[in-house]
Amino acid sequence: MKELALEDRPREVEKAESTPLLPVQRRQRIADFLNNHGAVTLQQLTDALHVSISTLRRDLDALAEEGIVERTHGGAILRHQQYSTFEPNFSAARDLSPREKTAIGEAAAEALIPGQSVIFDSGSTVLEAAKAVVARKVEIVAVTNDVEIAQVLNNSPYVQVHVLGGRLRQGSNTLVGEEVQNDARAIRADVLFLGAHAVSETTISETSTEVAAVKRTLMKSANSCRLLIDSSKFRPRVFMTVCSFDELDEIITDEGAPQEELERIRSAGVKLTVVGK
């Protein structure tokens, strides 16, 4: 057989890559992505599979009917994670529900009073609150255990930034460990913006023991604890409990949150703020 000429190979590869996948093949690719990352956005799927948004919506709807995924605004999450310690890839998690996270962050920042001290927990929704603080030009003292959040806040001349010392967690921007907790115990802040991996019924939970431990310490270091979660975080409980609703002062989420969960929050007597996109 004649060897393929070097100049012809890219054309052949391009042709192979452009061959449309059958629906069952696309859905298997989507399922594989979710098994690796736990979450997926329509934009990620468009970039990976080179098909239209409308086609991908139909694929996700079909997978949702099979009980494999749970649909969210702009994407989907894995419905049944194999292990309670499973954690989605950070970049995949931050791309999920971006408009909702932005709206939640803006609502959180809008409620701050100039001169307050604010602890910023790690997480993609809390990151949006940090961006909104910078945009609003509000003067605050900020404390965080997240490297990226510290960098964002440091772009504002109105924000004094303190970073809690500790060990950088593998694959994320989060500082964890005893040093973080010891530094946090010396603080008394006005507000904590808290993030979470999962909210189920009346419980906030995390996949990691060390992340959960840091969050509990941060909660003890603030006068007001405000949980910032987009609707995709209302999912089955994972490995380590952080706290229950009655330990929070406010929960800020989006209108895609399940109504039964919103009713549980109201019944717990916690202030609830629901934002649009």
**pTM (predicted TM-score):** 0.77
Partnered with residue 160 across adjacent β-strands are 141
SS3 sequence of 160-220: EEEECCCEECCCCCEEECHHHHHHHHCCCEEEEEECCCEEECCEEEECCHHHHHHHHHHHH
Q: At what angle do helices 124-136 and 98-110 cross, to 10 degrees?
A: 50
At 222, is the pLDDT very low, low, confident or very high (cuts 50, 70, 90)? very high
pLDDT tens track for 81-105: 554 555 665 565 666 678 899 999 9
| Nearest alpha-carbon partner for 231 in 74, 81, 86 | 74
pLDDT tens track for 10-39: 443 334 345 678 888 898 888 888 876 777
Q: Identify the helix (H) or strand (E) that includes residue 123.
A: none
Taking the CB of residue 13, how many other CB atoms lie within 10 A of it? 10
The rounded percent of the chain whose pLDDT value lies above 90 is 59
74: left (phi over 0), alpha (psi -120 to 50) or beta: left
CB 193 within 8 A of CB 226: yes
Full strand arrangement of the beta sheet holding 69-72: 39-41, 75-78, 69-72
Q: Is the pLDDT of residue 77 over 90?
A: no
**Single-letter amino acid code for the residue at 154:** N
